[in-house]
Amino acid sequence: MSASPALKTSVLSPSAVRVVPTQAALGAEVRCDDVRTLSDAELALVHRAALDHLVILIRGQTLTDPELIDFGRHFGALDLAPYAKTGKEKARKHPEIVIVSNVMEDGQAIGVLRDAEVVWHSDNSYREQPLSFSALYSLEVPPAGGNTGFANMYLALETLPHELRSRIEGRTLKHDMTYNSAGDLREGFKPVSDVRDAPGPHHPIIRTHPDTGYDALYLGRRPNAYIDGLPVDESEALLEALWAHAVRPDFTWHHVWQAGDILMWDNRCVMHHRDPFDAGARRVMHRIQCAGDKPAKSAAGKIGHPRALSAPNS
Site residues (vs ligand SIN, CB under 6 A): 100, 113, 118, 136, 148, 181, 272, 274, 285, 287
- CA–CA gap between residue 251 and residue 197 (Å, rounded): 32
What number of residues does the chain have?
A: 314
Half-sphere exposure of 148 (CA within 13 A, CB side): 27
Residue 107 class from Cβ within 10 Å (0-12 exposed, 13-18 middle, 19+ buried)? exposed
Q: Which of 193, 204, 203 is nearest to 232 (CA)?
A: 193
Phi, psi values for residue 241, rounded to 5°:
-65, -40
DSSP 8-state secondary structure symbol assigned to residue 206:
E
Give how far the C-alpha of residue 222 lies from the chain's centroid of Cα atoms, to the nearest Å. Answer: 15
Parallel, antiparallel or unpaired: strands 18-21 and 28-31: antiparallel
Tell me if 277 sits within 8 A of 115, measured CB to CB: yes
Half-sphere exposure of 77 (CA within 13 A, CB side): 7
Phi, psi values for residue 87, rounded to 5°:
-55, -45
- CA–CA gap between residue 99 and residue 27 (Å, rounded): 23
SS3 helix, strand, coil % of the chain, rounded to 5?
25, 25, 50
Hey, which bits of 141-227 come out as E strands? Answer: 148-152, 172-174, 202-204, 206-208, 215-217, 226-227
